C-alpha cells in the first residue's frame, strides 16, 4: 500500500523504482486495479440493490403479480397501460407482438422506454432499440414475495459482474496509457540520459496510478468530463516534463534489464 501512496505523492519516488524488477511494477499495477475494481463493484452493487428495492415497490403498487405460461404473459391488462418509473416510461399492451409494433408508440423525444408485450419486451434508450423474447418453456408466477427471494442473487451477480468488468476495463485502459502515452513521454524526456525502455516501462506502471485513481473518483461521484483522455495526456506531459526526475547514473544503467 505504500507504493500506491508514494506513486502519487512523491516525485523522487520514480528514481528509486529503476532498481526494482519489472514484475514488482506489474504487481503494483495489478494490485491497484484490483482495489479499484473491488470498491467500484461494491458501490455498483449497492446502487443496483437500491434500484431493485424501488422496482419492487413500484411492482407492488402497479402490477402485484405476473403469470407466465409457455413463454407468454397471461395476465396482461385488458387496456393499454403507460407507467412512469424514475426516468423510464413503461408501455404495457397485448398488441406488442414484435419490435416494430412496439416502437410505433415511442415518444418523439425518445425518453428511455420499455415496451412489454405478452411474448417479448422491447428496450429503447440512448442506444439502438432491441427486443428480448421470453423463453418458450418458461412458466411461473411472480409477485413481490417471489421477487424478494432474487435479491441475494442480484447482490452476488451484480458484485461479481462489476468486479470482473471494472478489472478488465481498468486493465485495458491502464495498459493503453502505459504503452502508448506515459512510457513514450518518459523515454522522450530522458532520451539523452540513456534511460532504457524497460526503465520507462517501470515508471509507467506507477505513473498510471494518477489516471486510474482520478477516473475512479470521477466515476463514483458521477462527474463526467468530455474528452477526459486529452486532459490526462496533457497532465502527463506537464507532470512528467516538469516534475519527474529519474537519475540514470552509471550504477543504475547496469540494472536496465531489471
b/e 162-190 (16+ beta carbons within 10 angstroms → b)? bbeebbeebeebbeebbeebbbebbbebb
Distance CA 36, CA 167 (A): 8
pLDDT grade for 255, boundaries at 50, 70 and 90: very low
- What average pLDDT does this structure show over 42-69? 91
pTM of the full predicted structure?
A: 0.76
> What mean pLDDT is reported for the chain?
86
Per-domain residue ranges of the chain = 2-43+155-253, 71-138
pLDDT grade for 110, boundaries at 50, 70 and 90: confident
Distance CA 246, CA 13 (A): 9
Amino acid at each position: 500500500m505504500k507504493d500506491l501512496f508514494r506513486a502519487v505523492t512523491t516525485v523522487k519516488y520514480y528514481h528509486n523504482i529503476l532498481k526494482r524488477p519489472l514484475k514488482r511494477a506489474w504487481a503494483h499495477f495489478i494490485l491497484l486495479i484490483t482495489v479499484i475494481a473491488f470498491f467500484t463493484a461494491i458501490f455498483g452493487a449497492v446502487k443496483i440493490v437500491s434500484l431493485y428495492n424501488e422496482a419492487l415497490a413500484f411492482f407492488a403498487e402497479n402490477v402485484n403479480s405476473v403469470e407466465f405460461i409457455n413463454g407468454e404473459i397471461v395476465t396482461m391488462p385488458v387496456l393499454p397501460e403507460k407507467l412512469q418509473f424514475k426516468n423510464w416510461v413503461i408501455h404495457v399492451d397485448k398488441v406488442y407482438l414484435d419490435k416494430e409494433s412496439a416502437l410505433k408508440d415511442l415518444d418523439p423525444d425518445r425518453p428511455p422506454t420499455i415496451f412489454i408485450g405478452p411474448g417479448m419486451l422491447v428496450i429503447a434508450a440512448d442506444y439502438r432499440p432491441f427486443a428480448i423474447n421470453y423463453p418458450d418453456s418458461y412458466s411461473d408466477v411472480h409477485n413481490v414475495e417471489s421477487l424478494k427471494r432474487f435479491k441475494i442473487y442480484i447482490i452476488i451477480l451484480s458484485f461479481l459482474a462489476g468486479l470482473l468488468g471494472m478489472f478488465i476495463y481498468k486493465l485495458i485502459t491502464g495498459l493503453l496509457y502505459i504503452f502508448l502515452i506515459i512510457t513514450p513521454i518518459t523515454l522522450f524526456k530522458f532520451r539523452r540520459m540513456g534511460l532504457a525502455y524497460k526503465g520507462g516501462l517501470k515508471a509507467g506502471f506507477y505513473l498510471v496510478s494518477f489516471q486510474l485513481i482520478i477516473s475512479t473518483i470521477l466515476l463514483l461521484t458521477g462527474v463526467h468530463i468530455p474528452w477526459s483522455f486529452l486532459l490526462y495526456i496533457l497532465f502527463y506531459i506537464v507532470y512528467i516534463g516538469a516534475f519527474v526526475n529519474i537519475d540514470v547514473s552509471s550504477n543504475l544503467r547496469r540494472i536496465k534489464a531489471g
